[in-house]
Structure 1
Amino acid sequence: MSEPGFDADFPAHVERALEKFLCEAGDPIRAIEPITGPGVDALSEFVLGGGKRLRPTFAWWGWRGAGGDPDGPDADGVLQAVASLELVQACALIHDDLMDSSDSRRGSPTVHVAFAKRHADHGWLGSAAGFGQAAAVLLGDLALAWADDMFAAAPLPAQTLAAARPAWRAMRTEVLAGQYLDVHTQATGDASPEAALRIDRLKTAAYTVQRPLHLGAALAGADDRLIGALLSFGRDLGVAFQLRDDLLGVFGDPSITGKPAGDDLREGKRTLLLALGMELAGAQGRQADATVIADAVGDKDLTEDAVTEVREALTGVGAVAAVERRIEDLTSAALDSLDAAELAEPAPTRLRELAVQATQRKY
């Protein structure tokens, strides 16, 4: 039986499950080859060093809404299965930071930067940057491998895990496909709103909300109708969540977002906010604003003053207001799908709260 109170402060339960698994997974390789210790420790610190635990939380409420019993014999196993999503997230973030050449996350050096410094501090042979990049690739791969291990080892009946495997497989594939679509769009310079929305649907909506909900509901034996309603809810909410993140990426407080202001601009992310900014500036004949926005995208040396100019341009042409309207419309559509799902309480209430938290965060 599970310990009481899984519904209350669920992220704290996820934290404990991750801490236990990471210790059990890391100890054997440390014993076999102690030189791997710093890498294993770095991955554990990265996973346990913060995060909202959104993916496991959506999965848990998908399970609860489909009839999962928090006091039943499967609750502990479901907790472990959904907590494994945080290891997939760790893989995605470590690799994303490397691909975007990001220097910091959550106020600390990114993995590739930290290991490049380790190389330089020890005066090792070869390129410090190359060593940091290799370490980040390997630690991200380790996180993904351990995610599979944690999910597969969840103490649940074989048929229960088998029912959730289609969602698990789809989620892993979709997040990697979304990552590739993101870098491809940056490389080709596709600045269209349609391209930005394709990335949002695949990289964020599917991976952050849709598949976690699908996974949780499948663990509870949900039928196709219920899963379909949850997928609709997750699609619209996930895109709205990403659009809010896009706004925070340009307007957000670094102490809240964990990344320097304007980093999305420096990394060349082709967001809907920027796509609409360019489109609206062109339609209004505001060439100066269009140039300010276009020149900022991918500028690694973008200054704070330049970020301020981009903010003013995006606001002035109406792009910020347009994205806010889309967030509002998508959130409303998502909540309609949630109502149609007819989930067991308290799941609808909690999911509605999560929707508000995810889409109404301010700068």
Structure 2
Amino acid sequence: MTSSYATPVSFVRGAVDTELTAFAAERRAELLEIGPELEPAMEALEAMLTGGKRLRPAFCYWGWRGAGGTDVPGIYTAAASLEFLQACALIHDDVIDNSDTRRGLPATHKRLEGLHRRSGWSGGGAAFGQGAAILIGDLCLAWSDQMYAASELPLKALHDGRGPFDRMRTEVMAGQYLDMLEQVRGAESVEASLRVMHYKAAKYTVERPLHLGAALAGRADDLTPVYTAYGLPLGIAFQLRDDVLGVFGDPEQTGKPAGDDLREGKRTLIVAETLERAPAADSARFRRLLGDPGLTPGDVEWMRGVTTECGALAACERRIDDYVGQAADALDSDLIDDEARRSLADLIVAATAREH
């Protein structure tokens, strides 16, 4: 059994990247056989695959190892398939939020909008970019399934893994819909924010990848409760950290303009906490500014100040600490392989670090 080195994420990342590169190269050849016009779409898809922290494959892999799985090539292929699902979710999410950037680069729909503009094609460039991005996201979803099925794991293992694999895809789409719904409802409660986080982030990012690893190793029955006790609180802590960075993060680290979540009007938990805790006049102004794409740096700085002064930022940090503690406590189980337990403990830090 191979021993881990560096961090649990970097240990998995190299093999996952190799699998993604090989699979994407095969799909690229298939697309270009259909027509050379598809090359810009494939380039946009490949750009989405090159970034990211690879957390979902890491949780899947260490879920497998925690269940006694050995270091075989097939687990990297199955784990890597989750990156295509992630690419689908991010591409569609950027269309829904009308985000300009992703990881410091133009979002997929903006990239294709630019292609339309440079080519001098007829019609609206924005509509073309959005439509093309939706199709590229759909392609990622299809290829996620194809890559999972093509891994070299035994057929019974892949069959056993189908349950968490399929539920994960259903839950992230349902969570995205709930997120959209809360936006248009103007939801401001902490409870509503937590429900969205539960399905859109916690289950999808941590819990289900762990369940998938356990199921592929034939240990779903005994390890699913343990991985849930670890995965759900860690997944919420991960999303909470992401939400805090969406307001206070350094653009050099986040790849997005400062305060971008405020311009997009995201109804995150830190926003809900701010609206509940801030004085009435500040809360009313914060509410008016939220979702204004024309927010100035001064507006963003004022909103950050309100969030800090009313105690919302500190409340979110306490929640993160509480959830991290719950996840750490769940690892105190003799059902998990020792090396995997250490790696899962390190993944708590990787998922909730103050800088991503």
How far did residue 124 of structure 1 move? 0.4
1:226-280 deviations in Å (ceiling 9; x for gaps): 1111012110000011111111000000110111111111111111111111111
User: Shift in Å at residue 45 of structure 1?
Assistant: 2.1
- TM-score for both structures, normalised by structure 2: 0.96
- Give 1:287 shift: 2.0
**Structure 1 residue 303: deviation in Å?**
1.1
Name the SS of the counterpart of 2:153 in structure 1. coil
C-alpha deviation, 1:179, in angstroms? 0.6
The residue that corresponds to 2:17 in the other structure is 15
Counterpart-to-counterpart distance in 1, 2:103 and 2:235: 22
1:359 equivalent in alignment to 2:356: no
Q: Distance in 2 between matches of 1:110 and 1:251?
A: 21
Displacement of 1:41 after TM fit? 2.0
Contact 1:292 1:309 in 2 (8 A): no
Please name the residue that 1:197 is paired with. Answer: 194
**Residues in 2 aligned to 1:143 and 1:31: alpha-carbon distance in whole angstroms:** 18
* Counterpart Cα distance in 2 of 1:19 and 1:360: 28
Residue 33 of structure 1 corresponds to 35
Are 2:338 and 1:338 aligned?
no
Distance 1:266 1:95 in 2: 18
Cα distance per residue 1:61-85 (max 9 Å; x no partner): 0000000111xxxx11111001000
TM-score by length of 1: 0.94
Following superposition, the deviation at residue 361 of structure 1 comes to 1.6
Q: Tell me, in whole angstroms, the C-alpha distance in 2 between the residues paired with 1:259 and 1:250.
A: 10
Indicate the residue corresponding to 2:61 in structure 1.
Answer: 60
1:118 pairs with one of 110, 115, 119: 115
Aligned length: 353
- Post-superposition shift, 1:288? 2.8
Query: For each residue in 1:292-312, what CA deviation from the matched residue of structure 2 results, as whole angstroms up to 9, or x when unmatched?
Result: 321232111111111110111
Please tell me whether residue 320 in structure 1 is matched to residue 321 in structure 2: no
Asked if 1:229 is matched to 2:207, the reply is no
Question: Where in structure 2 are there 5+ consecutive unaligned residues?
Answer: none
Given candidates 26, 46, 49, the residue that maps to 1:47 is 49
In structure 2, the partner of 1:102 is 99
Structure 2 counterpart of 1:78: 75
1:336 corresponds to which letter in structure 2? D
Q: Does 1:311 align with 2:307?
A: no
Give the superposition deviation at 1:341: 6.0
Match of 1:298 in 2: 291
* CA apart distance, 1:160: 0.6
Q: What residue is the counterpart of 2:160 in the other structure?
A: 163
Is 2:172–2:204's contact at 8 Å kept on the other side of the alignment? Answer: yes
Query: Is this contact kept in 2: 1:292–1:310, CA < 8 A?
Result: no
8 Å contact from structure 1 (residues 292, 313) kept in 2: no
CA distance in 1, matches of 2:198, 2:255: 23
Write out per-residue CA displacement over residues 326-353 of structure 1, whole angstroms, 9 at most, x where no aligned residue: 1111110111112136310211111111
**What's the counterpart of residue 184 of structure 2?**
187
Question: Distance between the aligned counterparts of 1:340 and 1:54, measured in 2?
Answer: 22
- Distance (whole Å) between structure 2 residues aligned to residue 101 and residue 157 of structure 1: 42
Query: What residue is the counterpart of 2:87 in the other structure?
Result: 90
Match of 2:209, SS state, is helix
Q: CA deviation at 1:3?
A: 9.1
**Separation in structure 2 between the aligned mates of residue 362 and residue 31 of structure 1, nearest angstrom:** 42
Distance 1:215 1:296 in 2: 42
* Offset at residue 105 of structure 1 (A): 1.0
Does structure 1 conserve the Cα–Cα contact (< 8 Å) formed by 2:109 and 2:130? yes
Distance 1:3 1:135 in 2: 42
Q: State which of 171, 174, 196 in structure 1 corresponds to 2:171.
A: 174
3-state secondary structure, aligned to 1:16: helix
Instruction: Give yes or no for contact 2:44–2:111 (8 Å, CA) kept in 1.
Output: no
For residues 98-150 of structure 1, give each alpha carbon's deviation from its aligned partner in whole angstroms, at most 9, with x where no partner exists.
Answer: 10010011111111111111111111011111100111000000000000000
Match 2:250 to one of 240, 245, 253: 253
Question: 2:55–2:351: 8 Å Cα contact kept in structure 1?
Answer: no
Give the match for residue 348 of structure 1: 341
How many angstroms does 1:289 deviate by?
Answer: 2.1
Letter in 2 for 1:133: Q
Q: 2:32 & 2:285 partners in 1: Cα distance?
A: 51
Task: Give 2:165's aligned amino acid.
Answer: W
Q: Secondary structure at the match of 1:340?
A: coil
Distance in 2, matches of 1:225 and 1:269, equals 38
Which of 254, 257, 274 is the aligned partner of 2:271? Answer: 274
Aligned partners of 1:64 and 1:344 also within 8 Å: yes
CA distance in 2, matches of 1:10, 1:223: 22
